[in-house]
Each structure stands twice: as structure tokens, then as C-alpha cells.
Amino acid sequence: MGTPLVVWGASGHARVVADIIGLSKEYDIVGFLDDVNPERCGTEFCGARVLGGRETFDELRRQGVQHVIFGFGDNRARLTLGNLARAEGFCLATAVHPSATIAADVAIGSGTVAAAGAVINPGARIGDNVIINTCACVDHECLVDDGAHVGPGVRLGGKVVVERGAWIGIGATVREDVVIGAHSIVGAGAVVVANVPARVVAYGVPATVRKAALTDGQG
């Protein structure tokens, strides 16, 4: 039996997280939390049940559940709720798919998810509550800060910095030594060859800033 764990979130990304957890054998999922859709309480999801929302914390602790992992993409929410979960006495679990390739010296923070086919090369540092999504490549000496999301198929060149809460959309390519500013959004398929400021939306080939970001990340 693995360590009991609850997945906070019950949508598409939660399915991915649950699959990784199931393959790792380190944790056993006791259920899912959903604060957005309270009517789902008691329904089946990914082989377990939706237990409710954060109002279940006391009962979970009484049952000996001490670990939580997030199963949703909203960067700002992962950052905020990560602090809340810790304040409530929970530890943030980390999930790495068995097919991910992680260099021996890579530092990965708590709550982070590395999906199938992800590659994280030597010298990289990955913060807390980060998503390195399916087949994304984080090259040598990159820094991906807390709450960021590196989308499916993204390619980060060496020494790229992805600041706190930034979102890089599916299939984007980021040239070496580039900085993606905090809470910015890089659109799908973009080719980023110059630094992106904080809290903007940038896309295109080459990527250019198109507008201010309205939110701190995507849902």
C-alpha cells in the first residue's frame, strides 16, 4: 500500500496526474477534491470518488491523509492553494511519470508534475507546483519558477528562465538565455527569441507582445 493522497481537481489534467500517481506506486489516491462543482460530490472519477472541496480537510486529516497534489492548470490557483494546503498541515506531493527523463542533478520542487515524455536536462531547477507537460523539453541550466506551466511539446533552450506563474503554450519554442516574465502567457506555437516582460501575452513567429495578461495564468 502506498501513502494516502488526495488530488485537488477533477478535470482533464487531474486524469493525467492520477495516471502518473497510479504508475509510480508511491501513493494511493483516496479521492479527488472539487471546489468549483460542488454537485459532483460523491460521484466517481478516475477510479475513486469526488469527496467534496476544502471543507473535507478535517476529515481527511482524521483519516491520516497528509499529502495533496493539484490536478488543474490554473497557475495562480496552484500558487494560492499550495500555500493554503501547507497552512492546513498538508504536504505537497510530486509526481514524475516513469517515461520522463530527468538528469541526476535536477532539483524539482514539491507539488510539481512532470508528465509522460518530459525531458529535464542537467543543471535545471524546477520550482514548486510547476507543470512540465507531455513531451516538453527543458534544456540544461534552465530555471522554471514556482507555479509555472511548460505546456505539451514546448522546447526550452539552455539557460532559459521561466519566472513565477508564467504559462508557455503547447508547441512553443524558446531560444537559449531568454527570460519569460512572471505571470506572462506565451501562445501556442510561438517562437520566442527575445525576453518577454512580466504580465503580458506574447505569440507569433517571432513572438511579440500583443496585450497585457488579464489573469495570472490559464485555467
pLDDT tens for each residue of 49-78: 999 999 999 999 999 999 999 999 999 999
Q: Which domains does the chain have, with CATH numbers?
A: 3-72 (3.40.50.20), 96-212 (2.160.10.10)
Among 13, 55, 17, residue whose Cα is nearest residue 5: 17
140 among known catalytic residues = yes
Report the chain's mean pLDDT, rounded to a whole number.
Answer: 95
In the chain, which residue ranges form alpha helices assigned H by DSSP? 12-24, 57-62, 75-87
Among 161, 155, 151, residue whose Cα is nearest residue 137: 155
Q: How far does CA 138 lie from the centroid of its chain? A: 14
Query: Is residue 133 within 8 Å of 115, Cβ to Cβ?
Result: yes
CA distance 133 to 150: 6
Its pTM stands at 0.95
| Residue count (the chain) | 219
pLDDT tens digit sequence for 108-135: 999 999 999 999 999 999 999 999 999 9
Residue with cell 495578461: 213
pLDDT tens digit sequence for 150-187: 999 999 999 999 999 999 999 999 999 999 999 999 99
The active-site residue, picked from 13, 97, 140, 149, is 140
> Three-class SS of residue 33?
strand
